[in-house]
Amino acid sequence: MNIEQWLSIISDSFLGLSAIVVAVVAIIGLYAWRRELKGRVLFDVARNIIRLSIELKDNFEWARFPVGSSDESTNRQKAANESESESQMRDLWHARWNRLKPVVANLQALQEMDWEIQALLGEKSKQISSAIKMYRECYADLNTAISEYFSIQVEAVVNKSPYHRPEYLRELEHIIYGRSNDELSKKVNAAQEQLATSLTPFVK
């Protein structure tokens, strides 16, 4: 075998190796790009969940804030036969429902973010989903308490007959009108802290 044949074989070998190197570099680059893209998406989703969780905590505090104003019920349609006492009670009910609207909106947005984070993290998203579930439970408790409490109070006013279980009404009041150290507040705070702890590593 002469020198020209050897040079041709060596040249072909180098071309083959070059093609393999280019292919390997391309594959590594593709995986790096995918990781980077996933990282950016994960960063955005994690940041949005943390932001929503902080907003939701504030929403709950406002929804349960004991003090209200007459402006909160100005858009309620009143029945012609409402007594003054019934109107006052329905106005309070209406104001509480209005305060729940931001809670509902942020919960829906948070649930959508939860589906995204599950798609990105899989089994690692369990703590995040668990915290969002706590938020939903808090909303369900507050929503139920408002509905129960004011329907009982309106019925008592209309029938001019006090409700026979005042201790139950007090339990509902404790849920509706918040205090910083009560059980519902602690649960909302725990949900927010759990989300922050789970997601902070992805936004650093």
Could you read off the pLDDT of 56-98 as tens digits, one per residue?
999 999 999 998 887 888 888 888 888 989 999 999 999 999 9
Instruction: Select the more confidently predicted residue: 194 or 18.
Output: 194
Residue burial 39-74, b: 16+ Cβ < 10 Å; e: rest = eeebeebbebbbebbebbbebbeebbeeeeeeebbe
Q: In sequence order, which residues have a C-beta less than 8 Å from that of residue 100 and are 6 or more positions away?
A: 63, 139, 142, 143, 146
The pLDDT mean for the chain works out to 83
User: 199 with 50: CB under 8 angstroms?
Assistant: yes
The whole-model pTM stands at: 0.79
Q: What is the pLDDT of residue 134?
A: 95
Longest Cα–Cα distance in the chain: 116
Residue 177 has pLDDT above 80, yes or no: yes
Residue 42 has pLDDT above 80, yes or no: yes
| 38 — pLDDT class (breaks 50, 70, 90) | low
As for how many domains the chain has, the answer is: 1
Q: What is the pLDDT of residue 122?
A: 85
pLDDT in tens, 118-136: 888 888 889 999 999 999 9
Q: What is the pLDDT of residue 29?
A: 46
Residue-range definition of the domain harbouring residue 93: 3-202
Cite the beta strand spans of the chain per DSSP E: none
- Residues making up the chain, counted from first to last: 204
User: 43 with 202: CB under 8 angstroms?
Assistant: yes
DSSP collapsed to 3 states, 91-141: HHHHHHHHHHHHHHHHHHHHHHHHHHHHHHHHHHHHHHHHHHHHHHHHHHH
What average pLDDT does this structure show over 173-186? Answer: 90
Share of the chain above pLDDT 70, in %: 81
| 146 — pLDDT class (breaks 50, 70, 90) | very high
| 188 — pLDDT class (breaks 50, 70, 90) | very high
What average pLDDT does this structure show over 148-166? Answer: 91
Instruction: Select the more confidently predicted residue: 77 or 14.
Output: 77
